[in-house]
Amino acid sequence: MTTDAGRIFFFRKRHRLADDDHFPRPKHRRLHEPRFLFDAVPCCLLRRPPIPPEAGVSAFDMGNFLSNACPGCMPKDGALGMYRDWTDASKDARDLTVATRDGVGLGHGVLSRRILDPRKAALQAVVPPWEKREPHYKDALKKARLPDKRLGELEAEARLQKEKLDELRKPKEDLSQFLLPLTAEDEEVVHDCLYGSGSSNQVLVLHESSNIEISKEKIRCLRPHGWLNDEVINLFLELLKERGLREPKRSLKCHFFNTFFYKKLACGKNGYDYKSVKRWTTHRKLGYELIECDKIFVPVHQRVHWCLAIINMKAKTLQYLDSLGGNDPRVPEMLARYIVEEVKDKSNKEIDINSWTKEVVDYVPLQQNGYDCGMFMLKYMDFLSRGASLSFGQEHMEYFRKRTVKEIIKLRAD
């Protein structure tokens, strides 16, 4: 073949490969093509959006975010899956550290000695034939007579499970006193606060003793799909304190820390920082000491999620409640250190914290969407501060949001 003929051949070959008409394709899309599988799936499920920057502000509304991120579709789970992804991502970003050989001690699974001569190491591992050894049955008998620490752990676990079962078997309380219907006048006031016209900076109420003021913009976090902000939570806690003083026979003696306490305690320069919160609980400010309380409530904000920790002075337990069923063991550890130093400093008494129980309360009502964690936390405190069981659920959250608006406007928790 000549050079010119070869050029013509290869030119024709390339021309045929580039020609779309040479390989005709079906004009109609076939039913088995994979594109049809995604037509009915909402775009928010194909690609979960990352945590938005506005999630940290006080007026974040989950419903508005979903409508903008995925127009025309609303997840059937109330964005619970997306919210779980956000909470997991925030935990990973906060907790994930890289351990190096220089930064941490070697664990049991790491060979810590350096073997220079493998033959010498092998000879050292072999028992010399002239060394007399006890029979295996005597060695096993000695080990069997030693006290097994696991028995004590299993006994404590069995006792804890029995307490949980007893709690679950208790008859449901009558919720009528906690679910009193709002009057027509209250409904009108609530609707005007949440949806009425007027300046968003208009101050609706001022709590004088705590100097917390609630504007229209702040209280609108109690709309459906809204994430609760610090001002609304802290004012409601002040109302719970006042209710305990007003009705001592119907309430336990409780102390409610505000939403900034745990941040101050746990986020110092070296992590735990008791000095930054030492003056929060002087007898002059409170009129009592924490050792006199039955329960101490500590709101915990996990970046995009509200949880609750309880220092139960009466039962000597450190409890952690999460409406997503999660767990953060650092929180009870942090509060255990705090209560030991606090009682020592204010009451000059020692607490044997090793005898206390750390408990993740997993028989609590759980949220079924991505925006009611703050309301669940408030209701945990509301019910437990009165000694009531947590006999409510997701179906009551819409009512509790309206009732919280009413109680904040009237500056009285019922």
Enzyme catalytic residues: 305, 322, 373
Q: How far apart are CA 326 and CA 38, in angstroms?
A: 32
SS3 38: helix
CB–CB of 370/344 below 8 Å? no
Residues 291, 279: Cα–Cα separation, whole Å: 16
- Determine contact, residues 79/69, Cβ cutoff 8 Å: no
Half-sphere exposure of 385 (CA within 13 A, CB side): 27
Burial of 409 by CB count in 10 Å (0-12 exposed, 13-18 middle, 19+ buried)?
A: middle
d(CA 207, CA 226): 22
Cα separations in angstroms, 343 against 26, 291, 292, 308, 337: 80, 6, 10, 21, 10
The count of C-alpha atoms lying within 13 angstroms of the C-alpha of 282, restricted to the half-sphere facing its C-beta, is 5
Question: Three-state secondary structure along 43-112?
Answer: HHHHCCCCCCHHHHCCCCEHHHHHHHHCCCCCCCCCCHHHHHHHHHHHHHHHHCCCCCCCCCCCCCCCCC
